[in-house]
Amino acid sequence: MGEYSYTTIAIEPGESPRIGVVLRGGESVSVLACLQGDAAQVAVTQEGVSVAFTPADWELVTAADVHTARELAEAFAAYAAKLEQLHAEHTADSGSDDSSGADTSECAA
Who's near 98: CB < 8 A, 6+ residues apart? none
pLDDT of residue 18 exceeding 90, the answer is yes
**E strands along 11-72, which residues?**
18-24, 29-34, 41-46, 49-53
pLDDT band for 62, please (50, 70, 90 cuts): very high
The confidence score (pLDDT) of residue 68 equals: 95
Helix, strand, coil abundance in the chain, percent, nearest 5: 25, 30, 45
Residue 25's CB is within 10 A of a number of other CB atoms, namely: 16
- Hey, what amino acid is at 93? D
- CA 17 to chain centroid: 22
Model confidence pLDDT, tens digit, residues 24-50: 988 999 999 999 988 899 999 998 899
pLDDT of residue 58 exceeding 80, the answer is yes
The phi, psi pair for 80, rounded to 5°, reads -65, -45
Model confidence pLDDT, tens digit, residues 64-109: 999 999 999 999 999 999 999 999 999 986 766 555 555 545 554 4
